[in-house]
Chains A and B, each alone.
Chain A
Amino acid sequence: MIRFNLNNKAVEVDVDPNMPLLWVLRDILNMTGTKFGCGMAQCGACTVHLDGQPIRSCVMPLSAIADKNVDTIEGLSTDASHPVQQAWLEHNVPQCGYCQSGQIMSAVALLNEHPNPDDETIDNYMQGNICRCGTYPRIKAAIKTAAKNNRSAFDYSLAKDVGAHV
């Protein structure tokens, strides 16, 4: 039995500790907002936060997250009100949408670390997240909008993602 906090709620699962977090979320806990894209940390579709840091859940064994805090797209907001979701809305970013949970979780982490990222910082931080539809120009624009729009909301988000679990 392994316990961890998922979107600020305690959960317990009784499966093979080697099972990657991705499959725990999707198959065991029915949280399908986090997507399977490659299974080897190449595409970023499965990005979630572990104690506030972005990780690829497809290669993170369950054993490594015991007693830690996991945040997924479902925990960001249920009404798309998070500033990054709002920026995504403003720029109409998604096409098929499949990679966007991972893109958004990476972008939230990026902005927590770099509140005003330049192009190079965005490129470096986001290059692990593939979008085959080609929404990169809009993702970049949305990240800049989110950075500009709502600094105070980011302070809140930072507190929520990193601090609230302590």
Chain B
Amino acid sequence: MSNHKQIKSVSRRDFLRYTSVTGGVFVLGAVLPSFSPVWANAATANDASNTLNLFVSIDDDSTVNIVCHRSEMGQGVRTGIPQIVADELCADWSKVNVVQGLADEAYGSQNTDGSRSIRRFYTTMREMGATARAMLEQAAAQKWAVPVADVFAENGMIVHKASGKALSFGELASAAGQITPPAIKDLTFKSPEQFKLIGKPVTSVDLSDVLTGNTTFGQDIKLDDMLYASIERCPVVGGSVKTFNKDAPLKVANVLAVVEMPKQSLPVLFKNLNGVAVLASNTWSALQGRQALDVSWDLGANQTHDSEAYLTELKQRIVTKGKPFRQIGDAYKAYESSEQSLEATYTLPYLVHAPMEPPAATAVFKDGYCEVWACTQTPQSTQQNVAGALGIDKSKVKVNVTLLGGGFGRKSKPDFSVEAAVLAQKTGKPVKVVWSREDEIRHGYYHAISAQHFQAGIDANNKVTSWLQRTAFPSISWTFTGTTDEPQNNELSLGFGDLPFDIDNLSCETHKAPAHVRIGWMRSVSNIQHGFAIGSFVDELAEKVGVSTAQMWLTLIGDDRIVDPKPEGFDYANYGEPDGAFPIETKRLKNVLNELMGKSGADQPTADNEGWGISVHRSFVSYVAVATKVKVENNKVSVLEMHSVIDAGRVINPDRVKSQQEGAMIFGLSIALMSEITLKEGAIEQSNFHDYNVLRMHQSPKIVTHIIESTEAPGGVGEPGVPPVAASVVNAIYHASKTRIRALPVSKHFTV
């Protein structure tokens, strides 16, 4: 266990402040070290802090309140985090009450992205549970006047070994609260064999409420006297309002106000977009009033952006020598002198998140204070950006985190909360900003359009001796700088510069790619395009030299070793982990691939028009291999079945890991098969689910998930399943039909 933290008692008043509920008698807090976020730049630097983190409190009636300070969006964190605490605490799970933490830097990072809730908090959660247990044991020992070694905790009770007498946590809570927390070095922890909750498929704490419709998502918030706002935003990023009809919307029944949003300029950050809000006493009236606005726009410089022409330019640029950032040997020289060679260029379109719940936020501004309710992945960034927009100190902004109807990265941008806060300040009333689906599709933070180019030189013995790879896409950093025009280190660290191959001559390069829309992170981020391109090229290489794709992977990966790209010139970010933690282990990568081949049947023959495709990828410090079987018939691709193997280290809740893998396969299938955002004259062409396609039930195959049993530290789970999917799909299509798809989505080439 780590020794760089302190745990201290927290007062009832503080517990109230951090959670907005009445705290129990016995409250604990931990001091966490600061972590560098995955996106270590100005926009999220605020989520690294070094103060109070997580809290346990126990009521007199033995209710154990455990704070979840991270956002629930379907990944199961409101169950997983408390599972860890409760296990070390030896709590009675039926008495655990999960409390959603408010935004507070005291918690350390609450930014629920980067697949890191369990990865970053597993150890701390165990310490929290163990500390609380030690204090309860101490309290019981004092009460009975026996040595603490003679008592133990079990299922919400402290038991005296010799006599068998027992006291409940509730009976001991008050006395335990008076005890000085032990030092972390003095804590005792369960051995893995003693775990009762960790590693078990505990049912989600919100399940029953979901099934009865008794849940509160961001869209569900309602306050007294609240106005519902719908905002017409400029179709082109950087454009602004010229004129609009302020009177016509007010003639629509129940429309109460029309407000022009504050005019903003680049960088876009998390500011509101330029536009006009219509506020009404219900959502429908606001939407109706908005149609009467008749806004004319000054569209600005980005109105010339055409995604098709842009991608053509990227494809032309990517085949030329780029800016190298990681090199071994001389890849160009080796390529020129190679016996055989292969080259290929891969492209992906812009993508948007499309969570089932469009963004929504509610705000009240009163007496210089603002309170927000939002489906946010990032409560502290919400707090800071709202404070900035209102010109008040962030200590005067309270952020309540609702359930999230999906997030996938969209809701780690607090722009929609900023909109609500601004309108609450301007109107003096509670305001809920409701994003329509059209708003969500057309005004997102898009996954970047991209091109990747690969060249391999092969010697007479079919050995790959030279590997050149280039990537170009508009950077997320542009969103924060307004000027960045090429991929950044953090993005190149996502499945590209960390290429784990044993190649004598390697050159990893980038090219320029200016941004014209808000660019953001989406589930597995740049691993999407990099996993697709590398996984496709390995399959093409295997075909070229006449070996199986699995064998080509194993040969390229090479011997068991740790891959460290740093000596080769690349300042690899490794998902924000400190040096030495979670290294790139080729053994684990090969293991998930070998397990996949053993369990999926992907090496078995198929019918003529059917085929298997595989790929494997490490991301968020976990390892995933995927096999997909497709049928190609009458120019139509049907996905028949998918298998995935994940090594995410120790797993807290295997059922939620399985469900994340299932979801990742389906999210990946949408990307591979059908999703595409295009722009003409600077504006998004798609608007709703009829033209932004995502996978539906009849396109969803049989899915089998295998989880590697591991005692390694927990890695990421939410995202790592996505990157290998698209490559496995196009590879399967190739093996079924001999048609190689290098430009996603598949729907450009086949019916899906």
Contact = CB atoms under 8 A, between A and B. Distances in A.
Nearest to A15: B282
B376 interface: no
Given A27-B283, A89-B207, A95-B663, A35 B437 contact: no
Given A78-B212, A131-B356, A132-B406, A23 B689 contact: no
Interface string B212-224: 1111110110100
B207 A38 contact: no
Contact of A43 (B356, B436, B703): B356
B659 A97 contact: no
Interface size range of chain B in the complex? 35 or more
Contact of A96 (B357, B665, B698): B357
B688 interface: yes
A39 B403 CA distance: 21
Nearest to B226: A27
B659 A92 contact: yes
A23 B73 CA distance: 24
A31 to B, nearest CB: 8
Interface string A14-36: 01100110010011101011111
A128 B75 CA distance: 24
A138 B659 contact: yes
A127 to B, nearest CB: 5
Contact of B282 (A19, A72, A130): A19
Contact of B211 (A20, A40, A80, A132): A80
Nearest to A84: B211
B626 to A, nearest CB: 14
Contacts of A101: 213
Given A98-B406, A139-B697, A77 B356 contact: no
A140 B408 CA distance: 23
Contacts of B698: 123-124, 126-127
Contacts of B438: 39
A132 B354 contact: yes
A109 to B, nearest CB: 14
A96 B659 contact: no
A24 B140 CA distance: 56
B228 interface: yes
Interface string B248-272: 0000011000000000000000000
A124 B696 CA distance: 10
Contacts of B696: 127-128, 130, 136
A33 B663 contact: no
A136 B697 CA distance: 6
Interface in B341-364: 354-358
A101 to B, nearest CB: 5
Contacts of B254: 16
A133 B74 contact: yes
B695 interface: yes
B662 interface: yes
A44 to B, nearest CB: 10
A98 B405 contact: yes
B405 A73 contact: no
B205 to A, nearest CB: 12
Given A35-B356, A97-B74, A134 B667 contact: yes
A7 to B, nearest CB: 11
A130 B336 CA distance: 50
Contact of B357 (A19, A37, A124, A139): A37
Contacts of A30: 222
A88 B283 contact: no
B689 A43 contact: yes
Given A38-B437, A94-B204, A123-B698, A33 B659 contact: no
B688 A42 contact: yes
Contacts of B207: 89, 92, 94
Contacts of A134: 662-667, 695, 700
Interface residues of A, number: 60
Contact of A39 (B204, B210, B436, B664): B436
A96 B211 contact: no
B697 A129 contact: yes
Nearest to B666: A134
B700 A137 contact: yes
A132 B355 contact: yes
A82 to B, nearest CB: 8
Given A39-B437, A130-B696, A33 B213 contact: yes
Given A27-B283, A33-B212, A96 B404 contact: yes
Contacts of B209: 97
Interface in B652-667: 655, 659-660, 662-667
B673 to A, nearest CB: 13
B208 interface: yes
Interface string B4-28: 0000000000000000000000000
Contacts of A16: 253-254, 284-285
A140 to B, nearest CB: 7
Contacts of B211: 80, 85, 88-89, 94, 100, 104
A116 B405 CA distance: 31
Nearest to B202: A92
Contact of A98 (B217, B655, B694, B695): B217
A34 B287 CA distance: 19
A47 to B, nearest CB: 12
B242 interface: no
A77 B284 contact: no
Contact of A140 (B206, B287, B407, B697): B697
Contact of A80 (B208, B405, B434, B702): B208
B697 A23 contact: no
Given A98-B357, A138-B659, A42 B690 contact: yes
A89 B209 CA distance: 11
A89 to B, nearest CB: 6
A166 to B, nearest CB: 25
A76 B212 contact: yes
A32 B659 contact: no
Contacts of A88: 211
Contact of B212 (A80, A92, A99, A122): A80
Contacts of B75: 95
Contacts of B283: 23, 26-27, 36
Interface in B688-713: 688-690, 694-698, 700, 702-703
A64 to B, nearest CB: 15
A28 B222 CA distance: 11
A51 interface: no
A144 B279 CA distance: 45
A35 B206 CA distance: 17
Contacts of A89: 203, 207-208, 211
A38 B688 contact: yes
B357 A35 contact: yes
A133 B406 CA distance: 7
Contact of A36 (B73, B215, B358, B703): B358
Nearest to A125: B697
Contacts of A95: 74-76, 659-660, 663
A26 B282 CA distance: 9
A99 B253 CA distance: 30
B669 to A, nearest CB: 8
26 contacts: A16-B284, A23-B284, A26-B283, A27-B283, A28-B282, A32-B213, A35-B357, A39-B287, A45-B356, A76-B212, A79-B212, A80-B211, A88-B211, A89-B203, A94-B204, A95-B660, A96-B356, A96-B406, A98-B355, A123-B697, A130-B694, A133-B406, A134-B695, A136-B697, A137-B662, A137-B700
Interface of A: 15-16, 19-20, 23, 26-28, 30, 32-40, 42-43, 45, 72-74, 76-80, 85, 88-89, 92, 94-101, 104, 122-124, 126-140
User: Which 10 A-B pairs have CB atoms at the shortest separation, nearest pair first?
Assistant: A33-B213, A98-B405, A134-B666, A95-B74, A96-B74, A97-B210, A73-B213, A134-B663, A123-B698, A136-B700
Given A37-B357, A138-B659, 8 more contacts: A35-B405, A80-B208, A94-B210, A97-B405, A134-B663, A137-B700, A137-B702, A138-B662
